[in-house]
Structure 1
Amino acid sequence: MTGPVRYEADEGIAWLTIDRPEARNALSKAVRDGLWDGIRAFNADDAAKVLILTATGERAFCAGGDLKEMAETSLQVPPPDFLPQFGRNIDVPKPTIAAVNGVAFAGGFLLAQQCDLVVASAHASFAVSEVKVGRGSPWAAPLSWLVPPRLAMEILLTGDPIDAERARDLGLVNHVVEAADLRDHARNLARRIAANAPLSVLASKRTAYLSAQFPIEQAYEKAEEIWEPVYMSADAQEGPAAFREKRTPEWKGR
Protein backbone atom coordinates (compact mmCIF):
# COMPACT_ATOMS: atom_id res chain seq x y z
CA MET A 1 0.00 0.00 0.00
CA THR A 2 1.13 3.54 -0.80
CA GLY A 3 -0.29 6.93 0.10
CA PRO A 4 -1.11 8.30 3.56
CA VAL A 5 -1.77 4.85 5.09
CA ARG A 6 0.71 1.96 5.13
CA TYR A 7 0.03 -1.74 5.72
CA GLU A 8 3.00 -3.92 6.66
CA ALA A 9 3.15 -7.39 8.18
CA ASP A 10 6.00 -9.36 9.71
CA GLU A 11 6.25 -12.34 12.06
CA GLY A 12 2.49 -12.61 12.47
CA ILE A 13 1.98 -8.94 13.36
CA ALA A 14 0.41 -6.40 10.99
CA TRP A 15 0.98 -2.65 11.27
CA LEU A 16 -1.53 -0.17 9.86
CA THR A 17 0.02 3.29 10.04
CA ILE A 18 -1.57 6.65 9.26
CA ASP A 19 1.19 8.76 7.73
CA ARG A 20 -0.09 12.31 7.48
CA PRO A 21 1.68 14.05 10.37
CA GLU A 22 1.61 17.48 8.72
CA ALA A 23 -2.19 17.43 9.12
CA ARG A 24 -2.17 15.73 12.54
CA ASN A 25 -3.12 12.51 10.76
CA ALA A 26 -6.62 13.85 10.09
CA LEU A 27 -9.12 11.62 8.31
CA SER A 28 -9.08 12.89 4.74
CA LYS A 29 -10.75 10.78 2.08
CA ALA A 30 -7.36 9.35 1.11
CA VAL A 31 -6.73 8.33 4.73
CA ARG A 32 -10.18 6.81 5.10
CA ASP A 33 -9.76 4.85 1.86
CA GLY A 34 -6.36 3.67 3.07
CA LEU A 35 -7.83 2.48 6.36
CA TRP A 36 -10.47 0.49 4.49
CA ASP A 37 -7.81 -1.09 2.29
CA GLY A 38 -5.60 -1.86 5.26
CA ILE A 39 -8.33 -3.51 7.34
CA ARG A 40 -9.38 -5.63 4.37
CA ALA A 41 -5.74 -6.61 3.80
CA PHE A 42 -5.43 -7.67 7.45
CA ASN A 43 -8.62 -9.73 7.29
CA ALA A 44 -7.33 -11.50 4.18
CA ASP A 45 -3.81 -12.04 5.54
CA ASP A 46 -3.84 -15.47 7.19
CA ALA A 47 -0.27 -15.03 8.40
CA ALA A 48 -1.16 -11.87 10.34
CA LYS A 49 -2.56 -12.77 13.77
CA VAL A 50 -2.77 -9.32 15.37
CA LEU A 51 -3.15 -5.79 13.97
CA ILE A 52 -1.50 -2.71 15.47
CA LEU A 53 -3.10 0.57 14.39
CA THR A 54 -0.85 3.59 14.88
CA ALA A 55 0.37 6.80 13.22
CA THR A 56 3.56 8.68 12.47
CA GLY A 57 4.91 11.57 14.52
CA GLU A 58 4.47 12.33 18.20
CA ARG A 59 1.87 15.11 18.07
CA ALA A 60 -1.16 13.19 16.89
CA PHE A 61 -2.49 9.67 16.57
CA CYS A 62 -5.44 11.16 14.70
CA ALA A 63 -7.05 14.56 15.24
CA GLY A 64 -10.35 13.38 13.74
CA GLY A 65 -12.06 14.37 10.54
CA ASP A 66 -10.41 16.71 8.06
CA LEU A 67 -12.47 19.83 8.83
CA LYS A 68 -11.09 21.71 5.82
CA GLU A 69 -12.20 18.91 3.52
CA MET A 70 -15.58 18.75 5.27
CA ALA A 71 -16.08 22.47 4.72
CA GLU A 72 -15.11 22.20 1.05
CA THR A 73 -17.52 19.31 0.44
CA SER A 74 -20.29 20.63 2.75
CA LEU A 75 -20.43 17.21 4.39
CA GLN A 76 -23.62 16.68 6.37
CA VAL A 77 -24.47 13.13 7.52
CA PRO A 78 -21.46 10.87 6.89
CA PRO A 79 -22.42 7.81 4.80
CA PRO A 80 -22.38 4.35 6.44
CA ASP A 81 -19.03 3.51 4.85
CA PHE A 82 -17.39 6.84 5.74
CA LEU A 83 -14.85 5.10 7.98
CA PRO A 84 -14.28 1.46 8.94
CA GLN A 85 -16.08 0.80 12.22
CA PHE A 86 -15.23 -2.61 13.60
CA GLY A 87 -18.32 -4.68 14.27
CA ARG A 88 -20.59 -2.14 12.58
CA ASN A 89 -19.70 -1.91 8.90
CA ILE A 90 -16.82 -4.41 8.85
CA ASP A 91 -16.11 -7.53 10.88
CA VAL A 92 -12.56 -7.86 12.24
CA PRO A 93 -12.38 -11.26 13.97
CA LYS A 94 -8.68 -11.10 14.87
CA PRO A 95 -7.33 -8.98 17.76
CA THR A 96 -6.50 -5.32 17.23
CA ILE A 97 -4.30 -2.96 19.24
CA ALA A 98 -4.27 0.84 19.03
CA ALA A 99 -0.81 2.31 19.66
CA VAL A 100 -1.78 5.91 20.39
CA ASN A 101 1.17 8.23 19.83
CA GLY A 102 -0.50 11.61 20.48
CA VAL A 103 -3.92 13.23 20.45
CA ALA A 104 -6.86 10.95 19.63
CA PHE A 105 -9.74 13.35 19.11
CA ALA A 106 -13.15 12.78 17.49
CA GLY A 107 -12.63 10.19 14.75
CA GLY A 108 -9.23 9.47 16.29
CA PHE A 109 -11.00 8.57 19.53
CA LEU A 110 -13.21 6.25 17.47
CA LEU A 111 -10.17 4.51 15.95
CA ALA A 112 -8.74 3.85 19.42
CA GLN A 113 -12.10 2.98 21.01
CA GLN A 114 -12.89 0.27 18.48
CA CYS A 115 -9.61 -1.59 18.93
CA ASP A 116 -9.58 -4.43 21.44
CA LEU A 117 -6.58 -3.10 23.36
CA VAL A 118 -4.99 0.34 23.65
CA VAL A 119 -1.39 1.26 24.43
CA ALA A 120 -0.78 5.01 24.76
CA SER A 121 2.20 7.32 24.96
CA ALA A 122 2.39 9.21 28.24
CA HIS A 123 1.68 12.48 26.42
CA ALA A 124 -1.36 11.14 24.51
CA SER A 125 -4.82 12.57 25.11
CA PHE A 126 -8.34 11.53 24.17
CA ALA A 127 -11.50 13.51 23.41
CA VAL A 128 -14.90 13.13 21.78
CA SER A 129 -14.67 16.72 20.62
CA GLU A 130 -17.58 16.91 18.16
CA VAL A 131 -19.68 19.13 20.45
CA LYS A 132 -17.02 21.83 20.10
CA VAL A 133 -17.42 22.02 16.30
CA GLY A 134 -21.12 21.22 15.93
CA ARG A 135 -20.58 17.76 14.50
CA GLY A 136 -21.96 14.37 15.61
CA SER A 137 -20.59 11.27 17.31
CA PRO A 138 -23.08 8.40 16.83
CA TRP A 139 -20.07 6.09 16.83
CA ALA A 140 -19.67 6.84 20.56
CA ALA A 141 -22.69 4.66 21.41
CA PRO A 142 -20.45 1.89 22.88
CA LEU A 143 -18.67 4.33 25.20
CA SER A 144 -20.98 3.74 28.17
CA TRP A 145 -20.13 0.02 27.91
CA LEU A 146 -16.42 0.83 28.13
CA VAL A 147 -16.63 3.32 31.02
CA PRO A 148 -19.28 4.11 33.67
CA PRO A 149 -22.25 6.00 32.17
CA ARG A 150 -21.69 9.24 34.12
CA LEU A 151 -18.08 9.39 32.97
CA ALA A 152 -19.16 8.69 29.39
CA MET A 153 -21.67 11.52 29.75
CA GLU A 154 -18.97 13.97 30.87
CA ILE A 155 -16.67 12.97 28.00
CA LEU A 156 -19.48 13.44 25.47
CA LEU A 157 -21.06 16.63 26.85
CA THR A 158 -17.89 18.63 27.50
CA GLY A 159 -15.73 17.47 24.61
CA ASP A 160 -12.77 18.10 26.90
CA PRO A 161 -9.65 15.97 26.51
CA ILE A 162 -8.46 13.51 29.12
CA ASP A 163 -4.81 12.57 29.44
CA ALA A 164 -3.40 9.08 29.05
CA GLU A 165 -3.16 8.37 32.78
CA ARG A 166 -6.80 9.36 33.30
CA ALA A 167 -7.83 7.27 30.30
CA ARG A 168 -6.05 4.27 31.84
CA ASP A 169 -7.76 4.87 35.18
CA LEU A 170 -11.14 4.91 33.40
CA GLY A 171 -10.38 1.68 31.54
CA LEU A 172 -10.08 3.19 28.06
CA VAL A 173 -6.35 2.41 27.92
CA ASN A 174 -4.50 -0.76 28.93
CA HIS A 175 -0.93 0.53 29.17
CA VAL A 176 0.74 3.95 29.30
CA VAL A 177 4.40 4.07 28.26
CA GLU A 178 7.00 6.61 27.25
CA ALA A 179 6.80 7.69 23.62
CA ALA A 180 10.12 6.05 22.77
CA ASP A 181 8.80 2.70 24.03
CA LEU A 182 5.37 2.77 22.37
CA ARG A 183 6.06 0.64 19.31
CA ASP A 184 8.11 -1.94 21.20
CA HIS A 185 5.48 -2.24 23.93
CA ALA A 186 2.67 -2.66 21.40
CA ARG A 187 4.74 -5.20 19.45
CA ASN A 188 5.51 -7.23 22.57
CA LEU A 189 1.84 -7.27 23.53
CA ALA A 190 0.93 -8.43 20.02
CA ARG A 191 3.58 -11.16 20.16
CA ARG A 192 2.17 -12.49 23.43
CA ILE A 193 -1.25 -12.76 21.79
CA ALA A 194 0.05 -14.22 18.52
CA ALA A 195 1.91 -16.96 20.42
CA ASN A 196 -1.35 -18.39 21.75
CA ALA A 197 -3.65 -20.97 20.15
CA PRO A 198 -5.31 -19.08 17.26
CA LEU A 199 -8.76 -20.63 17.59
CA SER A 200 -8.80 -19.89 21.32
CA VAL A 201 -7.74 -16.29 20.67
CA LEU A 202 -10.55 -15.73 18.17
CA ALA A 203 -13.10 -17.31 20.51
CA SER A 204 -11.82 -15.28 23.46
CA LYS A 205 -12.34 -12.04 21.55
CA ARG A 206 -15.90 -13.00 20.62
CA THR A 207 -16.65 -14.04 24.20
CA ALA A 208 -15.41 -10.75 25.65
CA TYR A 209 -18.05 -8.79 23.73
CA LEU A 210 -21.02 -11.05 24.51
CA SER A 211 -22.04 -9.17 27.66
CA ALA A 212 -22.49 -6.02 25.57
CA GLN A 213 -24.83 -7.84 23.21
CA PHE A 214 -26.89 -10.27 25.29
CA PRO A 215 -28.41 -10.80 28.76
CA ILE A 216 -26.18 -12.96 30.96
CA GLU A 217 -27.98 -16.29 30.45
CA GLN A 218 -28.01 -15.86 26.70
CA ALA A 219 -24.37 -14.75 26.78
CA TYR A 220 -23.45 -18.05 28.45
CA GLU A 221 -25.35 -19.98 25.78
CA LYS A 222 -23.63 -18.07 22.98
CA ALA A 223 -20.26 -18.65 24.63
CA GLU A 224 -20.86 -22.41 24.68
CA GLU A 225 -21.61 -22.27 20.95
CA ILE A 226 -18.45 -20.28 20.29
CA TRP A 227 -16.19 -22.58 22.28
CA GLU A 228 -17.52 -26.01 21.26
CA PRO A 229 -15.56 -26.15 17.96
CA VAL A 230 -12.44 -25.02 19.84
CA TYR A 231 -12.79 -27.91 22.29
CA MET A 232 -13.21 -30.25 19.31
CA SER A 233 -10.13 -28.96 17.47
CA ALA A 234 -6.73 -30.60 17.07
CA ASP A 235 -5.17 -27.63 18.86
CA ALA A 236 -7.20 -28.48 21.98
CA GLN A 237 -5.31 -31.78 22.08
CA GLU A 238 -1.98 -30.26 21.10
CA GLY A 239 -1.87 -27.91 24.09
CA PRO A 240 -2.11 -30.59 26.81
CA ALA A 241 0.20 -32.89 24.81
CA ALA A 242 2.87 -30.19 24.56
CA PHE A 243 2.56 -29.50 28.29
CA ARG A 244 2.98 -33.20 29.08
CA GLU A 245 5.97 -33.51 26.76
CA LYS A 246 7.52 -30.24 28.00
CA ARG A 247 7.73 -28.64 24.56
CA THR A 248 6.35 -25.57 22.79
CA PRO A 249 2.92 -26.21 21.23
CA GLU A 250 2.72 -26.31 17.45
CA TRP A 251 -0.61 -24.67 16.68
CA LYS A 252 -2.39 -25.56 13.45
CA GLY A 253 -5.46 -23.37 13.79
CA ARG A 254 -7.74 -26.35 13.37
Structure 2
Amino acid sequence: MTQDVLFEVDGAIAVITLNRPQKLNAVTPEMADAIVAAVNQCNDSETIRCVILTGAGEKAFCAGSDIGELDTYETPWQFRNRPDYCDAIRALLKPSIAAVNGYCFGGGLETAMSCDIRIASENAQFAAPEIKLGWIGGGGMAMHLAHSAGMSNAALMIMTGDPVPADKALAWGLVSDVVPRDQLLARAREIAQTIASRAPIAAETAKLNLKAAHTMPPEKAIEYERDLQTICFATEDAREGRAAFKEKRAAVFRRR
Protein backbone atom coordinates (compact mmCIF):
# COMPACT_ATOMS: atom_id res chain seq x y z
CA MET A 1 0.00 0.00 0.00
CA THR A 2 0.93 3.67 -0.22
CA GLN A 3 -0.06 6.77 1.70
CA ASP A 4 -1.64 8.00 -1.52
CA VAL A 5 -4.32 5.30 -1.21
CA LEU A 6 -5.96 4.80 2.17
CA PHE A 7 -7.81 1.60 3.08
CA GLU A 8 -9.94 1.28 6.17
CA VAL A 9 -12.59 -1.16 7.35
CA ASP A 10 -15.43 -0.29 9.72
CA GLY A 11 -17.48 -3.37 10.45
CA ALA A 12 -18.86 -4.68 7.16
CA ILE A 13 -17.91 -1.56 5.17
CA ALA A 14 -14.53 -0.88 3.54
CA VAL A 15 -13.50 2.59 2.37
CA ILE A 16 -10.84 3.12 -0.31
CA THR A 17 -9.72 6.77 -0.39
CA LEU A 18 -7.55 8.25 -3.12
CA ASN A 19 -5.33 10.44 -0.97
CA ARG A 20 -3.39 12.78 -3.23
CA PRO A 21 -5.49 15.93 -2.99
CA GLN A 22 -2.62 18.25 -3.91
CA LYS A 23 -2.67 16.57 -7.37
CA LEU A 24 -6.48 16.25 -7.54
CA ASN A 25 -6.07 12.56 -6.61
CA ALA A 26 -4.56 11.79 -10.02
CA VAL A 27 -3.53 8.13 -10.09
CA THR A 28 0.09 7.03 -10.38
CA PRO A 29 1.24 3.48 -11.21
CA GLU A 30 2.03 2.98 -7.51
CA MET A 31 -1.51 4.04 -6.61
CA ALA A 32 -2.94 1.66 -9.21
CA ASP A 33 -1.05 -1.19 -7.54
CA ALA A 34 -2.43 -0.11 -4.16
CA ILE A 35 -5.98 -0.09 -5.51
CA VAL A 36 -5.47 -3.63 -6.80
CA ALA A 37 -4.20 -4.69 -3.36
CA ALA A 38 -7.21 -3.10 -1.64
CA VAL A 39 -9.61 -4.83 -4.02
CA ASN A 40 -7.94 -8.18 -3.38
CA GLN A 41 -8.27 -7.64 0.37
CA CYS A 42 -11.97 -6.85 -0.01
CA ASN A 43 -12.57 -9.87 -2.22
CA ASP A 44 -10.77 -12.20 0.20
CA SER A 45 -12.68 -10.94 3.24
CA GLU A 46 -15.61 -12.89 4.66
CA THR A 47 -16.82 -9.88 6.64
CA ILE A 48 -16.62 -6.95 4.19
CA ARG A 49 -20.00 -6.60 2.48
CA CYS A 50 -19.81 -3.22 0.73
CA VAL A 51 -17.00 -0.96 -0.50
CA ILE A 52 -17.01 2.85 -0.75
CA LEU A 53 -14.55 4.58 -3.06
CA THR A 54 -13.91 8.30 -2.62
CA GLY A 55 -11.29 11.02 -2.95
CA ALA A 56 -9.57 13.07 -0.26
CA GLY A 57 -9.98 16.83 -0.10
CA GLU A 58 -12.73 19.12 -1.37
CA LYS A 59 -11.63 19.66 -4.96
CA ALA A 60 -11.57 16.25 -6.58
CA PHE A 61 -12.72 12.68 -6.52
CA CYS A 62 -10.08 11.81 -9.11
CA ALA A 63 -8.69 13.69 -12.10
CA GLY A 64 -7.69 10.44 -13.82
CA SER A 65 -4.20 9.20 -14.52
CA ASP A 66 -1.28 11.45 -13.63
CA ILE A 67 -0.41 12.87 -17.07
CA GLY A 68 3.17 13.45 -15.96
CA GLU A 69 3.63 9.71 -15.48
CA LEU A 70 2.45 8.70 -18.96
CA ASP A 71 5.72 9.54 -20.71
CA THR A 72 7.49 6.97 -18.53
CA TYR A 73 6.03 4.18 -20.70
CA GLU A 74 8.63 3.31 -23.32
CA THR A 75 6.16 2.17 -25.98
CA PRO A 76 2.42 2.46 -26.70
CA TRP A 77 2.22 -1.31 -26.19
CA GLN A 78 3.65 -1.00 -22.70
CA PHE A 79 1.08 1.72 -22.04
CA ARG A 80 -1.65 -0.59 -23.40
CA ASN A 81 -0.68 -3.38 -20.99
CA ARG A 82 -0.23 -1.28 -17.84
CA PRO A 83 -2.14 -2.27 -14.69
CA ASP A 84 -5.48 -0.45 -14.97
CA TYR A 85 -7.15 0.83 -11.81
CA CYS A 86 -10.58 0.80 -13.51
CA ASP A 87 -10.15 -2.92 -14.20
CA ALA A 88 -9.32 -3.34 -10.51
CA ILE A 89 -12.56 -1.66 -9.40
CA ARG A 90 -14.56 -3.76 -11.85
CA ALA A 91 -12.91 -6.84 -10.31
CA LEU A 92 -14.58 -6.11 -6.95
CA LEU A 93 -16.89 -8.98 -6.00
CA LYS A 94 -18.61 -6.92 -3.31
CA PRO A 95 -21.13 -4.15 -4.06
CA SER A 96 -19.41 -0.79 -4.51
CA ILE A 97 -20.36 2.86 -4.11
CA ALA A 98 -18.51 5.83 -5.61
CA ALA A 99 -18.84 8.94 -3.43
CA VAL A 100 -17.88 11.64 -5.93
CA ASN A 101 -16.69 15.00 -4.66
CA GLY A 102 -15.39 17.66 -7.04
CA TYR A 103 -13.64 16.81 -10.29
CA CYS A 104 -14.39 13.36 -11.70
CA PHE A 105 -12.42 13.46 -14.92
CA GLY A 106 -10.96 10.93 -17.34
CA GLY A 107 -9.89 7.80 -15.53
CA GLY A 108 -11.62 9.17 -12.45
CA LEU A 109 -14.92 9.12 -14.33
CA GLU A 110 -14.19 5.60 -15.55
CA THR A 111 -13.41 4.58 -11.98
CA ALA A 112 -16.67 6.02 -10.67
CA MET A 113 -18.63 4.36 -13.47
CA SER A 114 -16.93 1.05 -12.64
CA CYS A 115 -18.68 1.17 -9.26
CA ASP A 116 -22.20 -0.20 -8.92
CA ILE A 117 -23.73 2.94 -7.39
CA ARG A 118 -22.65 6.56 -7.77
CA ILE A 119 -23.63 9.50 -5.59
CA ALA A 120 -22.23 12.99 -5.94
CA SER A 121 -21.75 16.17 -3.98
CA GLU A 122 -23.25 19.37 -5.34
CA ASN A 123 -19.82 20.57 -6.48
CA ALA A 124 -19.08 17.44 -8.52
CA GLN A 125 -18.19 17.74 -12.21
CA PHE A 126 -17.88 14.90 -14.70
CA ALA A 127 -15.79 14.92 -17.87
CA ALA A 128 -14.09 12.77 -20.48
CA PRO A 129 -11.37 15.28 -21.37
CA GLU A 130 -8.93 12.94 -23.14
CA ILE A 131 -9.86 14.31 -26.58
CA LYS A 132 -8.38 17.68 -25.54
CA LEU A 133 -5.01 15.94 -25.18
CA GLY A 134 -5.19 13.92 -28.38
CA TRP A 135 -6.57 10.55 -27.32
CA ILE A 136 -9.70 8.92 -25.93
CA GLY A 137 -10.44 7.05 -22.72
CA GLY A 138 -9.39 3.41 -22.47
CA GLY A 139 -10.84 2.25 -19.16
CA GLY A 140 -14.38 1.62 -20.32
CA MET A 141 -15.35 5.24 -20.97
CA ALA A 142 -17.55 4.77 -24.03
CA MET A 143 -19.20 1.58 -22.81
CA HIS A 144 -20.06 2.96 -19.39
CA LEU A 145 -21.22 6.36 -20.62
CA ALA A 146 -23.36 4.88 -23.38
CA HIS A 147 -25.10 2.60 -20.90
CA SER A 148 -25.49 5.22 -18.18
CA ALA A 149 -26.20 8.46 -20.03
CA GLY A 150 -27.31 7.29 -23.48
CA MET A 151 -25.50 7.46 -26.80
CA SER A 152 -26.10 11.14 -27.53
CA ASN A 153 -24.96 12.34 -24.12
CA ALA A 154 -21.99 9.95 -24.22
CA ALA A 155 -20.98 11.36 -27.60
CA LEU A 156 -21.34 14.91 -26.33
CA MET A 157 -19.02 14.22 -23.39
CA ILE A 158 -16.44 12.16 -25.27
CA MET A 159 -16.28 14.33 -28.39
CA THR A 160 -16.14 17.71 -26.63
CA GLY A 161 -14.33 16.79 -23.43
CA ASP A 162 -16.33 19.46 -21.62
CA PRO A 163 -17.49 18.95 -18.00
CA VAL A 164 -21.03 18.16 -16.89
CA PRO A 165 -22.27 19.50 -13.51
CA ALA A 166 -23.79 17.29 -10.84
CA ASP A 167 -27.40 18.26 -11.51
CA LYS A 168 -27.11 17.36 -15.19
CA ALA A 169 -25.28 14.12 -14.33
CA LEU A 170 -28.25 13.24 -12.12
CA ALA A 171 -30.74 14.01 -14.88
CA TRP A 172 -28.75 11.90 -17.35
CA GLY A 173 -28.50 8.91 -14.99
CA LEU A 174 -24.75 9.12 -14.38
CA VAL A 175 -25.39 9.32 -10.62
CA SER A 176 -28.23 8.20 -8.35
CA ASP A 177 -28.20 11.07 -5.86
CA VAL A 178 -26.72 14.54 -5.34
CA VAL A 179 -26.18 15.79 -1.78
CA PRO A 180 -24.38 18.69 -0.06
CA ARG A 181 -20.62 18.18 0.16
CA ASP A 182 -20.63 17.75 3.93
CA GLN A 183 -23.24 14.98 3.69
CA LEU A 184 -21.58 12.93 0.94
CA LEU A 185 -19.77 10.29 2.98
CA ALA A 186 -22.63 10.02 5.44
CA ARG A 187 -25.01 9.30 2.56
CA ALA A 188 -22.58 6.76 1.08
CA ARG A 189 -22.29 5.02 4.45
CA GLU A 190 -26.07 5.01 4.83
CA ILE A 191 -26.45 3.19 1.51
CA ALA A 192 -23.55 0.87 2.33
CA GLN A 193 -25.07 -0.02 5.71
CA THR A 194 -28.35 -0.91 4.04
CA ILE A 195 -26.60 -3.14 1.50
CA ALA A 196 -24.47 -4.71 4.25
CA SER A 197 -27.64 -5.63 6.15
CA ARG A 198 -28.94 -7.67 3.21
CA ALA A 199 -28.00 -11.24 2.36
CA PRO A 200 -24.38 -10.90 1.14
CA ILE A 201 -24.42 -13.81 -1.31
CA ALA A 202 -27.57 -12.40 -2.86
CA ALA A 203 -25.99 -8.92 -3.09
CA GLU A 204 -22.86 -10.27 -4.76
CA THR A 205 -24.99 -12.39 -7.10
CA ALA A 206 -27.11 -9.36 -7.97
CA LYS A 207 -23.90 -7.62 -9.03
CA LEU A 208 -23.10 -10.50 -11.41
CA ASN A 209 -26.65 -10.43 -12.70
CA LEU A 210 -26.49 -6.70 -13.48
CA LYS A 211 -23.23 -7.16 -15.38
CA ALA A 212 -24.80 -9.95 -17.42
CA ALA A 213 -27.80 -7.77 -18.20
CA HIS A 214 -25.41 -5.33 -19.93
CA THR A 215 -23.77 -7.90 -22.16
CA MET A 216 -26.16 -10.79 -22.85
CA PRO A 217 -29.10 -10.95 -25.25
CA PRO A 218 -32.38 -10.55 -23.32
CA GLU A 219 -33.39 -14.21 -23.42
CA LYS A 220 -29.99 -15.39 -22.22
CA ALA A 221 -29.86 -12.70 -19.53
CA ILE A 222 -33.20 -13.84 -18.12
CA GLU A 223 -32.11 -17.48 -18.23
CA TYR A 224 -28.89 -16.59 -16.42
CA GLU A 225 -30.87 -14.59 -13.86
CA ARG A 226 -33.03 -17.61 -13.09
CA ASP A 227 -29.95 -19.78 -12.62
CA LEU A 228 -28.48 -17.21 -10.22
CA GLN A 229 -31.79 -17.02 -8.36
CA THR A 230 -31.76 -20.79 -7.93
CA ILE A 231 -28.21 -20.70 -6.54
CA CYS A 232 -29.23 -18.02 -4.01
CA PHE A 233 -32.40 -19.91 -3.11
CA ALA A 234 -30.29 -22.92 -2.08
CA THR A 235 -28.18 -20.97 0.46
CA GLU A 236 -28.51 -21.02 4.23
CA ASP A 237 -29.12 -17.27 4.10
CA ALA A 238 -32.21 -17.80 1.91
CA ARG A 239 -33.55 -20.34 4.37
CA GLU A 240 -32.87 -17.87 7.18
CA GLY A 241 -34.68 -15.14 5.25
CA ARG A 242 -37.76 -17.29 4.81
CA ALA A 243 -37.70 -18.36 8.46
CA ALA A 244 -37.32 -14.77 9.67
CA PHE A 245 -40.25 -13.69 7.50
CA LYS A 246 -42.47 -16.41 8.96
CA GLU A 247 -41.35 -15.65 12.52
CA LYS A 248 -41.69 -11.88 12.00
CA ARG A 249 -38.13 -11.08 13.10
CA ALA A 250 -35.01 -9.57 11.58
CA ALA A 251 -32.96 -12.02 9.52
CA VAL A 252 -29.36 -12.78 10.51
CA PHE A 253 -27.40 -13.44 7.35
CA ARG A 254 -24.05 -15.27 7.59
CA ARG A 255 -22.85 -15.43 3.94
CA ARG A 256 -23.53 -19.17 3.76
Q: TM-score, structure 2 length as denominator?
A: 0.93
Which residue of the partner structure matches residue 201 of structure 1?
A: 203
> What is the aligned partner in structure 1 of residue 193 from structure 2?
191
Partner Cα separation in structure 2 for residue 69 and residue 2 of structure 1: 17
Shift of 1:73: 4.8
CA RMSD of aligned residues (A): 1.7
Aligned residues: 253
Aligned residue in 2 for 1:19: 19
| C-alpha contact (below 8 Å) 1:21/1:56 kept by paired residues | yes
8 Å Cα contact 2:27-2:62 kept in structure 1: yes
Distance 2:81 2:175 in 1: 27
- TM-score, normalised on structure 1? 0.94
C-alpha distance in 2 between matches for 1:194 and 1:153? 36
Aligned ranges 1:3-14 → 2 under 5 Å: 3-14=3-14
Whole-angstrom distance in 1 between the partners of 2:150 and 2:64? 24
Q: Which residue of 1 aligns with 2:162?
A: 160
* Whole-angstrom distance in 2 between the partners of 1:101 and 1:61: 5
The yes-or-no answer on 1:92 pairing with 2:58 is no
How do residues 166-181 of structure 1 correspond to structure 2 at under 5 angstroms?
A: 166-181=168-183
Secondary structure of the 2:86 match is: coil
Q: In the alignment, which residue of structure 2 is the partner of 1:47?
A: 47
Q: Displacement, 1:84?
A: 2.7
Question: Would you say the 8 A contact 1:64–1:106 is kept in 2?
Answer: yes
Aligned residues of 1:118 and 1:175 also touching (Cα < 8 A): yes
Residue among 242, 245, 252 paired with 2:244: 242
- % of aligned pairs identical? 34
Q: Which one of the candidate residues 138, 148, 158 is aligned to 1:146?
A: 148
Q: Is the Cα–Cα contact under 8 Å of residues 55 and 61 in structure 1 kept in the other structure? A: yes
Q: Deviations over 1:31-71 (max 9, x none)?
A: 21221111111111221111100111010111111112224
SS in 1 for 2:98: strand
SS of 2:94's partner is coil
Give the secondary-structure state (helix, strand or coil) at the position aligned to 1:85.
Answer: helix
Q: 1:73 to 1:79 in 2, by over 3 A?
A: closer
> 2:31 matched to which residue of 1?
31
Partners of 2:136 and 2:158 within 8 A in 1: no
Matched to 2:100, the amino acid is V
What is the aligned partner in structure 2 of residue 123 from structure 1?
A: 123
- Maintained 8 Å contact 1:3/1:34: no
Q: Structure 2: which amino acid aligns with 1:54?
A: T
Instruction: State the 1:224 CA deviation.
Output: 1.4
Go from structure 1 to structure 2 and tell me whether the alpha carbon gap of 1:229 and 1:29 turns closer, same or farther (over 3 Å shift).
same
Give 1:240 deviation, angstroms: 2.0
- Check 1:90–1:61 CA distance in 2 against 1; reply closer, same or farther (3 A cut): closer
| Deviation for aligned residue 1:91 | 2.5
Q: Output the CA distance in 1 between the equivalents of 2:68 and 2:86.
A: 22
CA distance in 2, matches of 1:50, 1:121: 20
**1:141 counterpart SS class:** helix
Q: What are the superposed Cα offsets for residues 93-129 of structure 1, whole Å, 9 maximum, x if unpaired?
A: 2101101111010011111010000111100100011
Residue number in structure 2 paired with 1:218? 220
DSSP 3-state at the match of 1:3: coil
Q: Which amino acid aligns with 1:94?
A: K
Q: Which runs of 5+ in 1 are unaligned?
A: none
1:82 corresponds in structure 2 to 83
Distance (Å, rounded) in 2 between the aligned partners of 1:146 and 1:86: 18
Matched, 1:251 2:253: yes
Q: Which amino acid aligns with 1:32?
A: A
In the alignment, which residue of structure 2 is the partner of 1:70? 70
**Deviation of 1:248 (Å):** 1.2
Q: Secondary structure at the match of 2:7?
A: strand
Structure 2: segments with no counterpart, 5+ residues: none
